[in-house]
Amino acid sequence: MYAIIKLAGHQHRVKKDQIILSEATGNAEGSEFDCGDVMLVGEGSGAKIGKPFVSGASVRFKVLSNLRGEKLRGYKYKKRKGYHKAWGHRQSLQKLQVVDIKN
């Protein structure tokens, strides 16, 4: 059985015991939390499709670790004006494990 969920603004297709990398959810490392934004749950002809979410369905996650994504660098300039600006960004991420899928 699998589920399609909405977590931290992105959609993920998850199965039980799967490990995913998601944007930071604000939960502490080692804690568990439920995601109730389930768009589809089940498999094959027995799948339940939500409008937009399936009522009563949830996916339980365990936070394995907090980490940071790779560094993205950007650069802006204006020719012949002496204007140069460099910037960088690293996204805060979490490694999550699917503990249980309830439909």
Question: What is the chain's alpha carbon radius of gyration, rounded to the nearest angstrom?
Answer: 19
Q: How far apart are the C-alpha atoms of 14 and 30, rounded to whole Å?
A: 19
CA quadruple 69, 92, 13, 98: dihedral, nearest 10: 110
Average pLDDT over the chain reads: 95
Q: What DSSP assignment string belongs to 76-102?
A: EEETTTTEEEEEEE--EEEEEEEEEEE
pTM: 0.83
Give the SS3 label for residue 7.
strand
Mean pLDDT throughout 56-81? 97
Range of the domain at 60: 2-102
CA distances from 59 to 63, 65, 85, 98 (A): 13, 18, 43, 7
> Tens digits of per-residue pLDDT, 37-56?
999 999 889 899 999 999 99
Domain tally, the chain: 1
Binned at pLDDT 50, 70 and 90, residue 103 comes out as confident
* Residues above pLDDT 90, as percent of the chain: 95
Q: Residue-wise over 45-69: b if at least 16 C-beta within 10 A, else e?
A: eeeeeeeebbeebbbebbbeeeeee
